[in-house]
Amino acid sequence: MIHPRDMERVSITGPKSQLDSTIRRLHELNVLDIDDYNGEYDEFELGNPEKHADGISNTLVAARSLLDRLPDVESDGPAEIDGLNDLQERVDTIEDELEMIEDERQELEERRDRKEELLARLRLIDRLGLDPDDFQQLDAVDIILGRVDDTSFEDELPEGRYELYQDGDAIALFVDADLDVDQALGRCGFDPVEIDDLYEVDKKARDAIRDVKEKLDDIRSDIDAIDDEKKQLAEKHRSYLEANEKELAEELEKAEAPLRFATSENAFVAEGWMPEDRFKKVKTALEDESDGRVHVQREDADGEQPPVQHDNPGPVDNFEDLTDLVSVPKYGEVDPSFILFLTFPLFFGFMIGDAGYGLASFIVFYLGMRMFPGAKDIFKSLMFASAATFVFGLIFGDAFGYIIFGEHSALTALTGIEFFSQIPVLFHRTHNMTMLFMISAAIGVVHINLGYLLGMYNEYRHHGLIEAVLAKGSWIVLELGAVAWYLYGTAVGAPVMVTAVAMLAKGEGIQGIVEIPSLLSNILSYLRIFGVMVAAIALAKVVNSLASPMLATGTLLGLSGGTLILMVGHTMNTFIKIIEGFLQGIRLHYVEMFMKFFDGGGRPYNPFGARFADESRP
């Protein structure tokens, strides 16, 4: 529990005839973190993918592209898993159907766009009071239709040789063909509108507009029908494609697995890591399956870093993600998840220390867990923090900034029930600021020394007792020296501290000496517990004191206004406190404590087959 799971380096050797079945069995067992073969043995080369890997890969790409193109709808179609050939055939059929639908849609879209353009032009000439047959192409007259910023071009045209129709910025200009008006129009910001097909419309503008609109409606409903068809196609095939895509991806992984193995003409070797406690079962399973022709054996780790799998019981499990947020632990070092489990909720709870906010934040985290299944574990760990907040709230007798228990109980004042004021509280926080201040610093001392002790343990495991005492124990001696200095004077304290510094210099070198002032600032950093607590109490009281004059009026308006302020204010406060409690609480672990013992940088354990095992887990 305190370390990541013990890993065993193993090799699996067998004749090539057993390669397929071994891969299949390994995939089912979901246990081997394969080390890719890097060509270290003579005679052994990288294996070749299974013959059908290409086919699988092509079909997979086709199926994924279909899933991408089909609308994302609930599908109730059958989801049977097909063999590769049947699947390929069906994927092709679906693709053809989809292509036909998409082609038809594209054609309809083009027709729609053309009609829309025509409609806009017809509306334009209608505004100008013209009709399509006015746009007959004549040799002697140029017809110009479009929009302009102003009509100053008129000044440059000779009187009587042009005719201008204008409405707002829209113009239609009929001008003698031998006049060049382009430059003049250009200066007025002319934006032309095509007229080519206008004269083909053999109707009055109004009638033509009505006709085109009708046609547009038809086209649009055709497009809707096509979309429906596409949706139906998705409904029919989506679940089938999804199921088979998953299956194919799995098959592909198996088919390509030999690429990670060492193979000779007749044999294969796979190397990798598996949890030590599963070795025996895996060995039996693989060897039995092949009638003893496949051989599984332990190998020397050769100083290689094994992959890391957390190994924590029950609720500590939920805190692993918070650890991995900083870094996956290194193999063999202390897994700090259980420290997070022990102290993070306490910090959070102590800082906020309010039964009301404890409940409110619990609800928020519960909803968060339901809404973001990906971050489920982090929300679960935060629910522990909420529970601690609630408990501390009861201990201090606070809920939403009101004192609920003890001699100042607002509940008693409100309800007249004496019982509430008789429930004992530890102490009222507002009356014991100095004590809370000292408690915060004391938490720091304890927490940081816990960090040093874990650091000692890590050093002890990897470098032996002497290194542990020199590198990490020296810090504790240094602190003891400071205490001795304070209690018994320089004569006792100074020699102890000098010794500690000497030990530190030996253990961690100059880097350790430079770090000495940080010991003080790390401990003082825990005063943020006090700081956040003061802010939390003050914020709650601010909301209450804003609401209380309104509540005191006793009128309906006052009561409802006051209640509204309370609800909005405390909701906002809940979120502020979640952010503060989380950030400050987690930071004290990450920065102040973890740095005393935690290296991190481990490689997460990623067994062959796991991706699919995870997905199928209920």
Partner 1 sequence: MAAEQAFGGMATIGAGIAVGLTGLGTGWAQSKIGAAAVGAMAEDESLFGQGLIMTVIPETMVIFGLVIALRALGMI
Taking the C-alpha atoms of residue 570 and residue 352, their distance in angstroms, rounded to an integer, is 13
- Position among 521, 554, 616, 618 found at the interface with partner 1 (CB under 8 A): 521
Least Å distance, CB 444 to partner 1, is: 11
164 binds partner 1 (CB under 8 A): no
324 binds partner 1 (CB under 8 A): yes
- Position among 375, 433, 446, 466 found at the interface with partner 1 (CB under 8 A): 433
583 binds partner 1 (CB under 8 A): yes
Query: Alpha carbon of 484 to those of 27, 222, 464, 490: distances in Å?
Result: 61, 90, 28, 8
Stretch of 165-173, 190-198, 350-358, 519-527 lying at the interface with partner 1 (CB under 8 A)? 519-527
Find the length of the chain: 618
Stretch of 203-211, 300-308, 497-505, 518-526 lying at the interface with partner 1 (CB under 8 A)? 518-526
Nearest to 188 by CA among 134, 152, 219: 152
Compute how many residues bind partner 1; rule: CB under 8 A. 21
Q: Which residues contact 263 (CB under 8 A, 6 or more apart)?
A: 16, 19, 44, 45, 46, 47, 48, 269
- Position among 44, 165, 437, 612 found at the interface with partner 1 (CB under 8 A): 437
541 binds partner 1 (CB under 8 A): no
Residue pair 255/50 in contact (Cβ under 8 Å)? The answer is yes
Residue pair 170/124 in contact (Cβ under 8 Å)? The answer is yes
DSSP result, 390-435:
HHHHHHHTEETTEE-SSTT-HHHHHH--THHHHS--S--GGG-HHH
Residue nearer to partner 1 on the CB measure, 301 or 433: 433
528 binds partner 1 (CB under 8 A): yes
Residue nearer to partner 1 on the CB measure, 135 or 530: 530
376 binds partner 1 (CB under 8 A): no
Residue nearer to partner 1 on the CB measure, 232 or 518: 518
- Position among 325, 375, 442, 572 found at the interface with partner 1 (CB under 8 A): 325
538 binds partner 1 (CB under 8 A): no
Stretch of 288-296, 476-484, 517-525, 565-573 lying at the interface with partner 1 (CB under 8 A)? 517-525
Give 75's DSSP letter.
-
Least Å distance, CB 593 to partner 1, is: 12
5 binds partner 1 (CB under 8 A): no
Q: What residue has token string 């031998």?
A: 178
**Burial track 106-123 (b if 16+ CB lie within 10 A, e otherwise):** eebeebbeebeebbebbe
591 binds partner 1 (CB under 8 A): yes
332 binds partner 1 (CB under 8 A): no
DSSP result, 329-388:
PPTTS--THHHHHHHHHHHHHHHH--HHHHHHHHHHHHHHHHH-GGGHHHHHHHHHHHHH
Residue nearer to partner 1 on the CB measure, 396 or 594: 594
Taking the C-alpha atoms of residue 603 and residue 173, their distance in angstroms, rounded to an integer, is 76
- Position among 225, 524, 552, 572 found at the interface with partner 1 (CB under 8 A): 524
Residue nearer to partner 1 on the CB measure, 11 or 430: 430
Taking the C-alpha atoms of residue 523 and residue 593, their distance in angstroms, rounded to an integer, is 10
587 binds partner 1 (CB under 8 A): yes
Least Å distance, CB 36 to partner 1, is: 21
Least Å distance, CB 357 to partner 1, is: 21
Residue pair 174/125 in contact (Cβ under 8 Å)? The answer is no
- Position among 38, 183, 434, 511 found at the interface with partner 1 (CB under 8 A): 434
Nearest to 512 by CA among 501, 520, 521: 501
Helix, strand, coil: what percent of the chain each, to 5?
Answer: 65, 10, 25
Taking the C-alpha atoms of residue 382 and residue 375, their distance in angstroms, rounded to an integer, is 11
* Residues within the interface to partner 1 (CB under 8 A): 324-327, 433-434, 437, 521, 524-525, 527-528, 530-531, 534, 583-584, 586-587, 590-591
